[in-house]
Each structure stands twice: as C-alpha cells, then as structure tokens.
Amino acid sequence: MHILYIFIKLSFICSTNYDDVTSLLHFMFISGFVCYVAGAGITEPIGVNLKAGRGGLGREVAQKEKRHRQEVCRQQETKVSLEEYRKRVRSKMEDRQLESDLRKSQCACQQLDAQAGVNCPVDAWFWVQEKKKEEESEEEEKEDREEDEKSEKDDDDEEKEEEENDEPNSHEKLAKLTEYLRTRHLYCVWCGTSYDDADDLASNCPGDTAEDHD
C-alpha cells in the first residue's frame, strides 16, 4: 500500500513541480526508510568479526562436543564410584550383623546346652571357642583400621577356602544353628526368649530370620 501510494504521489508531482519531486526522494531515503517502509532498514554497516587463531568453526564445535562428552563420562564414573562405595559399605554392615548374630547364637547354644546337660556340641562351631573369640576380636580391630573396601577376589578366595575346609559359610551356620535353638531349646536369638512350647514359639515369635524381627 505504501509503495502504490508513493508511486501515485510521485507521478502526480512529476507532472507539476520538480522541487516537490526532490523533496519526496529525500523523504524516501532518510535514515531507517528502506523499501518505502519507515524503520525497517539497517542504519549501520554490518560488523565484521576478525577471528584470531588458526582453528575454524568446525574445529571449535568438535572440541566443544569432545569436552561435553568427557564431562558426561566423568559424571557417570563419579556416579558409579559412589554407588559401588555405598554397595560395599552396605555389604560390610550386613556381614558384620551376620557375624554378630552368629556369635550370639553360639553363646546362647553353649549356655542352653550346658543347662540341658549337653557336654559336647552337635558341631564344633555350635559353641564359641576361646581361640576363635580372640581371632575375631583381632580381626574386628584390624577391619576398623582399614578402609571399608572389599574386593571380589577376596570373596572368591574365602568361598574356595570354605569349600576346601568342607565347612558351611556364615549364612548356613546361622540358619542351621537357629533351627537347632528353636527345635531343641525353643529359643529365638532375636527375641532373646525361651518359649514354653512349640505353639508358644509359633504364636509369639515373628520368624526365624533377622528380617522377620525388623
């Protein structure tokens, strides 16, 4: 609409007065008036940014992407390391609790067997041996000085050693000893109670594992 209007105006002026044509042309090309629309033009020259250095834009983009990938990898490694650390700590706490429950069960078994007139344990590890007590105490002190870290190789070596000795592991020991205490003495190590009979045990004891008593 602006162009058509100006064209008609220009035609009219050209037929009347030359000075008016000059004024109109000046109005058309004042600052910011481009394509006959006021304010739509570029009033300053386009700046040229001179790049220092020999690297091109493609090189900069590639380096930026590389740095981003390295940062992502670093964050993932940190996350995995933190999860592994928490896993090791949790596993060590569970192992310590297991050993604690096993020792309590052994002490209870030895005491209850003695009260029942039993002079010899069903298995040697059913009772706590004095030598083993000292070894366990020294081992706990050593573990407290060390970092909370356990390798898979150590676990494999421990399993192989237990297989060679033909002795059950701590989980199996606790399960077997728990069954013996419940059936022979009607005793639950987590309740810390000797029940009157099997019905009393079944009715008032939550179960035969530590998790049942949480």
What are the two backbone dihedrals, phi and then psi, of residue 6, each rounded to the nearest 5 degrees?
A: -65, -35
The helix-helix angle for 170-184 and 57-115 (nearest 10°) equals: 30
What's the DSSP call for residue 45?
A: P
188 C-beta neighbours (distance < 10 Å), count: 23
**Paired tokens of 128:** 């706590």
Kindly state the tokens that stand for 197: 């009979």
Please give the angle made by the CA atoms of 64, 68 and 71, to the nearest 5 degrees. 140
Q: Which of 45, 41, 14 is nearest to 29 (CA)?
A: 41
Please tell me the pTM assigned to this model.
Answer: 0.52
Give the residue from 204, 170, 168 showing the smallest Cα distance to 187: 204
pLDDT tens track, the chain, 214 positions = 555 555 555 555 555 555 555 555 555 544 444 444 445 555 566 665 555 555 555 677 778 888 888 888 887 777 777 888 888 888 899 999 999 999 999 999 999 999 999 999 999 999 997 765 555 566 666 666 665 555 555 655 555 555 556 789 999 999 999 999 999 999 999 999 999 999 999 999 999 999 999 8
